[in-house]
């Protein structure tokens, strides 16, 4: 199954990926799948994005001025294809994010906009602070991502970005084991800022056939209890492209 189909992504969508453990890999896979169907794709970070990841999607367009960036995007996507839009280069390795309020003006009406709307310092799970994530106005689908390899590990800096916030959200203190319930609560926290009319989904990343599947199913049950009806698992970023399963 293709990831964009499993998540229910359709033309016109503005899809915000939040959480940790596989957002960039998911955006890259969805972008490449959609490019294969002829749909225009724009990837936009509202935090930051690595150049090495952006280059796998399309040309990188940057401008501090929102109007100038809009014009660049419109020109680049005029005949289809894919591109990445950012406010500027933070360094040779990273693209600076645009203001969340600017995203709707960049989004192609007849295409799909994929927003990297969160940061996690490459940890598999995170504690989402009250001011996060910086979601764009008009987001139609919000996908909370978590790396399944955090399940069963301890709450610490190695496995969780902002473990102190994670503890506040889940009740799992430093050194405690990350249970399916705690894992799910962390992902649900990333969805709390989703617009009322937006669809919500969860993506469990790093899932390989075998034991990981039962672990993913345990988290999925907790997410369903939390009101998330679409839960997808994938082997990305361990594999690229990743295999995809609906849970």
- Tens-digit pLDDT profile for residues 161-203: 999 999 999 999 999 999 999 999 999 999 999 999 999 999 9
Using one digit for the tens of pLDDT, what is the confidence trace for 112-165? 999 999 888 889 999 999 888 989 989 999 999 999 999 999 999 999 999 999
Token digits for 22?
């596989």
The C-alpha atoms of residue 19 and residue 67 are separated, in whole angstroms, by: 29
Judged against a pLDDT cut of 90, whether residue 220 lies above it is answered with: yes
Report pLDDT for 121.
Answer: 86
Token digits for 163?
């473990």
Average pLDDT of 14-29? 96
The C-alpha atoms of residue 167 and residue 160 are separated, in whole angstroms, by: 10
| Distances 193 to 33, 55, 59, 163, 205 between C-alpha atoms, Å | 27, 29, 30, 20, 22
Using one digit for the tens of pLDDT, what is the confidence trace for 48-81? 999 999 999 999 999 999 999 999 999 999 988 9
Closest CA to 199 of 4, 3, 14: 14
Report pLDDT for 30.
Answer: 98
Cα dihedral 201, 164, 94, 70, rounded to 10, equals 50
Domains of the chain: 3-41+109-246 (3.40.50)
| Percent of the chain scoring above 70 in pLDDT | 100
The C-alpha atoms of residue 25 and residue 69 are separated, in whole angstroms, by: 24
Buried b (16+ CB within 10 A) or exposed e, 130-168: eebbbbbebbbbbbbbbbbbbbebebeeebbbbbebbbe
């Amino acid at each position: 199954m293709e990831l964009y189909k499993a998540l229910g992504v359709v033309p016109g969508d503005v899809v915000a990926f939040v959480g940790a453990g596989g957002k960039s890999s998911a955006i890259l896979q969805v972008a490449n799948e959609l490019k294969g169907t002829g749909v225009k794709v724009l990837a936009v970070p509202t935090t930051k994005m690595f150049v090495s990841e952006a280059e796998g999607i399309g040309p990188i367009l940057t401008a501090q001025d929102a109007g100038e960036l809009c014009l660049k995007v419109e020109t680049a996507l005029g005949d289809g294809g894919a591109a990445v839009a950012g406010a500027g280069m933070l360094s040779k390795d990273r693209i600076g994010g645009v203001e969340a309020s600017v995203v709707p003006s960049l989004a192609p009406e007849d295409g799909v906009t994929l927003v990297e709307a969160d940061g996690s310092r490459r940890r598999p799970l995170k504690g989402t602070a009250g001011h996060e994530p910086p979601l764009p106005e008009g987001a139609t689908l919000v996908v909370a991502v978590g790396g399944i390899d955090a399940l069963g590990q301890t709450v610490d800096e190695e496995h969780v970005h902002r473990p102190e916030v994670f503890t506040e959200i889940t009740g799992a203190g430093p050194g405690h084991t990350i249970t399916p319930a705690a894992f799910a609560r962390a992902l649900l926290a990333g969805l709390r800022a989703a617009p009322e009319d937006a669809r919500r989904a969860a993506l469990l990343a790093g899932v390989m056939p075998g034991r990981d599947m039962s672990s993913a199913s345990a988290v999925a049950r907790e997410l369903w209890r939390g009101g998330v009806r679409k839960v997808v698992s994938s082997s990305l970023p361990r594999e690229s492209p990743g295999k995809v399963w609906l849970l």
